[in-house]
Structure 1
Amino acid sequence: MNGFHGHVLAASSTDVDLTGGNLTLVVVVGVIALVAVAMAIRFRAEVLAAPDGTESMKAIGLAVQEGAAAYLARQFRTLGVFAVIAFLFLLVLPADDTSVRIGRSLFFLVGAGFSAAIGYLGMWLAVRANVRVAAAARDEGRDPAMRVAFRTGGVVGMATVGLGLLGAAVVVIIYRSDAPTVLEGFGFGAALLAMFMRVGGGIFTKAADVGADLVGKVENNIPEDDPRNAATIADNVGDNVGDCAGMAADLFESYAVTLVAALILGKVAFGAEGLVFPLIVPAIGALTAILGIYLCRPRVGENGLTTINRAFYISAAVSAVACSIAAFVYLPTDFDGLTDLPEGGSLIESVIGVGSAGLDGNPALIATLSVLIGIVLAAAILALTGYYTGTENRPTQDVGKTSLTGPATVILSGMSLGLESAVYTALVIGAAVFGAFLVGGASVTVALFAVALAGCGLLTTVGVIVAMDTFGPVSDNAQGIAEMSGDVDGEAAAILTELDAVGNTTKAITKGIAIATAVLAATALFGAFSDAIVGASQDLEGMQDADLGSNELLALFGVLNVADPANLVGLLIGAATVFLFSGLLISAVGRAAGAVVFEVRRQFRDIPGIMEGTGRPEYGKVVDICTRDSLRELATPGLLAILTPIAVGFGLGPGPLGAFLAGSIGAGTLMAVFLANSGGAWDNAKKLVEDGHHGGKGSQAHEATIIGDTVGDPFKDTAGPAINPLLKVMNLVALLVAAAVVQMTYGEDSNTSLRIVIALVCVAIIAAAIVISKRRSVVIGDDAPPAAPGDHREPTPTAPTL
């Protein structure tokens, strides 16, 4: 590769001719998407055919099913308001023509609908599979139980890749050259719904989990899923609406948005082939995901995580070989062989002084190496996250050892582990981004397309990754149902404990890979955002191609010149938004968990016979508390994600908006990994103690790890994972408003007063939402109920109502 030299590519508005063989390949991709959906239906039938346990298990499972379905129904009604507003917002934004603008808005609804459907599907099956996993462990043994749990994940994984590919393929077939613009709406819909589902489900699940642990395990010394604890049903419901529905929607939007970024840049970089090859890669991944799911068969005496990792690595290796072959069969070995590759110069590359002699480089080799970088990145993060959070590795074992000296050292060791692991994970992701950028060094546009192709390479593993993620909450719920029913003990109970620990690690791994996709997609989207800003200026008075290099707006990578105070402010706001977003979610969990704590204490105090097992807790009241508090907390983080980039863009200009995105990507990457890995290590350190280490259950060491785990719960399952869709939502909003920002800042009809008014309105809405959020009661104050009988701790000090 020859660096940034030679011929440059056309601006993103250039038409390409998608006919003949290229169109046929897109149709084939659509067929593969339908095959993936068909496999999801088949795996679903296999899961539902498994025995569903004893009558006691069925009764508990039914309560979880009803709670999860009721929560999601209320959540979707709430989110419908946001969807309508966003639909109208997209309708008024400029586009090449009316049909494209309408298509972008309609496919926003499709993307949002697919994201919601994936989330609901994940929840619906998980709440039925958990009973079957428990029954399989009791009646058949470890291997059948693991098979049911992983096949449940396989259903969600195949549905994710199937619907993601289907949506992208249909848009490309219908809109051809305009597909990237329409796909902006598709990706925005997927990301917006996923963020809300991730936020709401995360608050629900961790409020119930924290409340159940603090009152049950710490204060009353009863097991985690003891039926005497009124929060246990809510805890199991939360696993499904948070870890299954929320994470499934999250990974679907990662899939959709990465495809959006790849197709936007692919059209510019590779012409017609650039609209097709990014679809071929994940189509291959859909087929290899089927292989990976079938390969997940444990060997005698083998740890469950080893089994899952082997299936992942084999499917990833097959994907790497197949994608390499596809690249050299489909793509030419020089740029002259690409079709519909215009001779004009890209505005971006004109700005930074790239020449216009012919493009050097091998498109097939560029594509192959980029995809391989993405696949290797997924494998590297799997290994790195597994090392820091797995129970068999030293980092988590060291956190467990600190339990001998109390909860403070547990928390300190977990935080230090999270901070350290975030650095190494960020370096690995950064190396992948920069490596792909260097591979595509024929031009800036090709380099950014290479980054997007690395994201597509990572997408080849998504089917197995989603299966790994869903495996976690299904195993967790299976253990809970087994314990609550009292029908599982001995070896079967040990099997479910092992699968639960494996699930904790797989959940941490999938969170790491999800944030990697967010960084790759955000980097590629940043390239699309830059091209949109430069392209929007093309027709402005006094900004013709010959003048671009001297204009402050269009000195493109001067957009990130932090010597400019406005850009530095934008950078800081971007980083600060990630911190504020995380703080809001952790605070929301704290408020909701406080309400759960007081409700569970009240029931222990007021309902006769609970501790003796003769009184029945009021499980529904805790479910109602978690549902109410999680849904009322949705608006504030959602408004922050949508309105902050609008406020920065119109208030400070396009340069600071670019810096804002850079700041959010940097801070978001580190924060998300820190939160996910520290939380995962705390959770598995607790599992180590519960397995008999350092005094075992009921010891002071156990109590210390429980406290660490309750701190980590909102870290790893609420704030950390929600940063992933946050980054994509903010990048897509910036991309969507880029043209309007340029027009109102530098156009003939520029209106500084109107820009400032828009920015101030956005800031005022965000500030009002935060103030309202902070005024909500945490149920701590003069009206707090007294402690439950047998609770000899000091009374909670009176605190001001927040």
Structure 2
Amino acid sequence: MELFFLIGFIGALVALLFAQSRRLVVMACPEGNDRMRKIASAIREGANAYLKQQYATVARIFAIVFVILLLMAFGTNGSMLSKFTPFAFLSGGIFSMLAGYIGMKISTQANSRTASAASKSLNRGLRVAFASGSVMGFTVVGLGILDISCWFFLLRFIFGISDPTDLGNIMVMNGMGASFMALFARVGGGIYTKAADVGADLVGKVEAGIPEDDPRNPATIADNVGDNVGDVAGMGADLYESYVGSILATFSLGPLAGYGYRGMLLPMALAVTGILCSVLGTFLVRTDENTDQKALLGSLRKGTYSAAILAALFAAPLTYVILGNMGVYVSILCGLAGGTAIGYFTEYYTSDSYKPTQELSASAQSGTGPLIIGGISLGLKSTMSSILIVAAAVIISFIAAGGYGNYNQGLYGIGIAAVGMLSTLGITLATDAYGPVADNAGGIAEMSGLPEVVRERTDALDSLGNTTAATGKGFAIGSASLTALALLVSYVSIADNKLAAAGKKLMDLSLTNPQVLVGLFVGAMLTFVFASYTMSAVQISAQSIVSEVRRQFRQIKGIMEGTADPDYARCVAICTRGALRQMVIPALLAIIVPILTGLILGCEGVVGLLGGVSVTGFAMAVFMSNAGGAWDNAKKYIEKGNFGGKGSESHKAAVVGDTVGDPFKDTSGPSLNILIKLCSTISIVFSGLIVAFHLTGFFM
């Protein structure tokens, strides 16, 4: 049975070869004129410089944690931690970093090529940008499956761990490195991109009254760099962690449900099947020249929906052959259907093709205040659909998998639903990652002085990208909630085993237990404090950019007349320093708070914390992502000529709304789903330490 896990290497090979083929397609396209190449080169240099400094900063933190894990694993003869976990921590972080780095490299090569292709036709621009996104999507799934497969075979055949329960419990700890790297990448990149974006918008568009991406704006290169380090590199690391985390969580639940290695093989087989279906779906994405947002959305839907339908069809025989329990197949369908439904409702609330965003745009006619209030209201309302969809998926998948007859089988059903939701991540992420490329292409078209029709085409692709980005975040957040529940169950199982081995009583998880109740409050608090720090980080960094842009407008004579060049590099450097400095505290919160909670309140307190952060984090992430996406597309809807068009009072109000929404949708919101899972994996890895030394144990 274990040899069937070789399909993981096959799936990884297919994904990575397809990613390489898409890269060659992108690189074969012309990069445009000299001006376009010069701007693209400046963006590449800025992105490379930022990531180099970010990885150097994160490497130092990784080294400290690695030493701590080594001491826990080898200093206690393995009683606190598996001796493999420190090394899996490093490999997970490295693979997560690679996923983001490769995505950033191709996006900075594709931006000018997309602008050049858009000068020929809308369809050509879409194809180049989408090919670039496909590199990102299939690199993430390919590296994720490769990392899991390598560790499975190392543990099973090199180190001889034959018990599936032990192997599953070790494997679930391997996700900590990926979560660790993803949080730093998402938070740091999100702070960078939104600080530059906010600074460029407030001074350039609102105060100076110049167009977006105008070459006279000193922050415009930093803004374009931010699209790559935040919306591509950060997002790639983020969804790599979501993908790997869902599979590993189900690995640990399979043996608990009594399925043994078969329960671990099914999520692997589903992931590989999803890769093949996603490859087929990418060939269906194309559009006509004269089209609107609904038609563009339909083009991408054709690819993503086709991949999901194919995955659903193939999942039936796989489930029957591997498990023989077709109730689990219903759980998989719940995940696929739930992910698609979340994507639809996210699109409904954020796309300017639908009533909510159009009404939000109309509110700008009454000023900034009504627009801000309307966006907050829209975001709050949008949480209802996502939460009800996930709630339905949890209940149905639990019942269908046999949860009322065997509790652990029901929990396995929830875990496999998360895998089903992310099984076609290759194409889902491709539709997400293409958006920043289109955004950069629009900036290059503006700064290069290309014809207005080119900017209209790139704006259409960019507006669509805002919607697909929100949809991608919806997938990540929805799967995070299911994965977090699976990880919570894994934590309870692992912690109880350690308590029993230490001769201590098992956990009392009733809500009347003060440790659980206080843990719930701490988890809810962590969500809000984390969001506060990430929002504040954008504010502080953006203030530096605002001051710098104002200084350059004031002191460099000839900028506004176009006779002198701004100091773009200065803004890039300020964003880099600000992001790296501001990302540390929120990232450390996610690491330190679960450990401190455990040391003070014990394992029960940690369970409460994980429940609190999962529920509040999920709702907050949906609210922030959808509100931010709606504000952004409301601005673009006005820029199309509605409610006064560009330069009107409505447009100025919408720019402010977009400025508020930027850290909502691209910094705090998407970082919360990583927070949810990182808290879980941190708790699992440090469960031995908590069992041995928690403060409440001295009084009980």
TM-score, shorter chain, exceeding 0.5: yes
Instruction: Report Cα offsets for 1:610-661 as digits up to 9, x if no partner.
Output: 0000011000110011000000012101110001011111101111210111
What secondary structure does 2:84 align onto? Answer: helix
User: Of 600, 612, 615, which aligns to 1:663?
Assistant: 612
Structure 2 CA distance for partners of 1:383 and 1:405, relative to 1, 3 Å? same
Alignment partner, residue 565 of structure 2: 616
Residue 438 of structure 1, CA deviation: 1.8
Q: 2:432 corresponds to which residue?
A: 469
User: Which residue is equivalent to 2:648?
Assistant: 699
Is 1:111 matched up with 2:100?
Answer: no
Match in the other structure for 1:732: 681
Contact 2:348 2:354 survives alignment (8 Å): yes
CA distance in 2, matches of 1:746, 1:703: 55
Match of 2:212 in 1: 224
Picking from 122, 144, 162, the partner of 1:164 is 144
Deviation at 1:301, TM superposition (A): 4.4
Q: Larger deviation: 235-244 or 727-736?
A: 727-736
Shift of 1:692: 0.4
Structure 1 equivalent of residue 692 of structure 2? 743
Is contact 2:2-2:261 (8 Å) kept?
no
Within 5 Å, give how 1:95-106 maps onto structure 2.
Answer: 101-106=82-87
When the two structures are aligned, how many residues end up with a matched partner?
684
1:603 counterpart letter in structure 2: Q
Give the match for residue 391 of structure 1. 352
Residue correspondence of structure 1 range 348-747 to structure 2 within 5 A: 364-440=325-401, 441=403, 442-489=405-452, 491-541=453-503, 553-555=506-508, 559=509, 561-745=510-694
Aligned to 1:225, the other structure's residue is in SS state coil
Distance 1:217 1:300 in 2: 30
Per-residue CA deviation, residues 431-451 of structure 1 (Å, 9 max, x unaligned), is 112221222313221111111
- Residue deviations 1:203-250 (CA, integer Å, cap 9, x gap): 000000000000000001000100000000000000000000000110
Q: Is the 8 A contact 2:85 2:173 kept in 1?
A: yes
User: 1:174 Cα deviation (Å)?
Assistant: 1.9
Please name the residue that 2:271 is paired with: 282
Separation of aligned partners in 1, 2:205 and 2:302:
36
1:383-432 Cα offsets, whole Å, 9 max, x none, are 00000001100000000000100000110000000000012211111211
Q: Within 5 Å, which residues of 2 pair with 1:183-262? A: 183-262=171-250
> Given the superposition, is the C-alpha separation of residues 449 and 94 from structure 1 closer, same or farther in structure 2, using an over 3 Å criterion?
farther
- Contact (CA 8 Å) 2:507, 2:603: kept in 1 or not? no
Indicate conservation of the 8 Å contact 1:744/1:752, yes or no.
no
Counterpart amino acid of residue 298 in structure 2: T
Contact 2:601 2:694 in 1 (8 A): no
Flag the structure with higher helix content.
Answer: 2
Partner of 2:282 in structure 1?
293
Shift of 1:745: 4.7
2:477 partner letter: I
TM-score (norm 2): 0.95
Corresponding residue for residue 771 of structure 1: none
Q: Match of 1:351?
A: none
- Matched residue type, 2:106: L
Matched letter for residue 497 of structure 1: D
Q: Among the aligned pairs, what percent are the same residue?
A: 42
1:331 aligns with 2:341: no
The verdict on how the C-alpha distance between 1:752 and 1:37 changes in structure 2, with shifts beyond 3 A counting, is farther
3-state SS, counterpart of residue 262 of structure 1: helix
Which residue type is aligned with residue 49 of structure 1? A
Look up the equivalent residue of 1:243 and give its one-letter code: D
Residue in structure 1 matched with residue 53 of structure 2 by the alignment: 74
The aligned counterpart of 2:113 is: 132
Which amino acid in 2 is paired with 1:262?
T
Indicate if the aligned counterparts of 2:263 and 2:323 stay in contact, CA closer than 8 A.
no
3-state SS of 1:101 partner: coil
Paired with 2:523 and 2:73, the residues of 1 have a C-alpha distance of: 25
Please say if residues 172 and 251 of structure 2, whose CA atoms lie closer than 8 Å, have aligned partners that are also in contact.
no
Cα RMSD over matched residues?
Answer: 1.7
Return the letter of the residue paired with 1:102. K
Q: CA deviation at 1:146?
A: 0.1
2:48 maps to 1:59: no
User: In the alignment, is residue 304 of structure 1 matched against residue 296 of structure 2?
Assistant: yes
How far 1:752 sits from its partner (Å)? 6.7
* Amino acid of the structure 1 residue aligned with 2:223: D
Question: Take 1:641 and 1:98, find their aligned partners in 2: how far apart are those partners?
Answer: 25
Query: What are the residue-to-residue correspondences of 1:308-319 with 2, within 5 Å?
Result: 308-319=300-311
Aligned counterpart for 1:144 among listed residues 121, 124, 146: 124
Q: In structure 2, what is the Cα distance between the partners aligned to 1:431 and 1:735?
A: 27
Q: Which amino acid aligns with 1:372?
A: L
Q: What is the rounded CA distance, in whole Å, between the counterparts of 2:475 and 2:193 in structure 1?
A: 22
Cα 1:564/1:554, change in 2 over 3 Å: closer
- In the TM superposition, residue 98 of structure 1 has moved relative to its aligned partner by 5.4
2:121 touches 2:289 (CA, 8 Å); kept in 1?
no
Task: Determine whether 1:34 maps to 2:34.
Answer: no
SS for the counterpart of 1:518 is helix
TM-score, reference length from structure 1: 0.83
**Residues of 1 paired with 2:656 and 2:422: CA distance?**
36
Native 8 Å contact 1:112 1:186 kept in 2? no
Deviation at 1:563, TM superposition (A): 2.5
Any idea what the Cα deviations from partners look like across 1:76-99, whole Å, max 9, x if unmatched? Answer: 000001111222232233599759
SS of 2:557 mapped into structure 1: coil
Distance 2:517 2:204 in 1: 48
Aligned letter for 1:84? A
Report how far residue 493 of structure 1 moved.
2.1
Q: How far did 1:300 drift?
A: 6.0
Q: Secondary structure at the match of 1:615?
A: coil
Partner SS state of residue 174, structure 2: helix
Q: For the residues of structure 2 that align with 1:524 and 1:563, how far apart are their CA atoms?
A: 23
Structure 2: how far apart are the matches of 1:186 and 1:38? 25
8 Å contact 1:191–1:725 — kept in the other structure? Answer: yes
Deviation digits for residues 95-120 of structure 1, max 9, x if unmatched? 99759833221121111001000111
Unaligned runs of at least 5 residues, structure 2: 157-163
Distance 2:319 2:77 in 1: 33
Residues in 1 aligned to 2:141 and 2:236: alpha-carbon distance in whole angstroms: 11
Q: Name the CA distance, whole Å, in 2 between partners of 1:207 and 1:752.
A: 48
Matches of 1:369 and 1:33, distance apart in 2: 26
Whole-angstrom CA distance in 1 between matches of 2:379 and 2:447: 33
Verify the 8 A CA contact 1:93 1:736 in the aligned structure 2. no
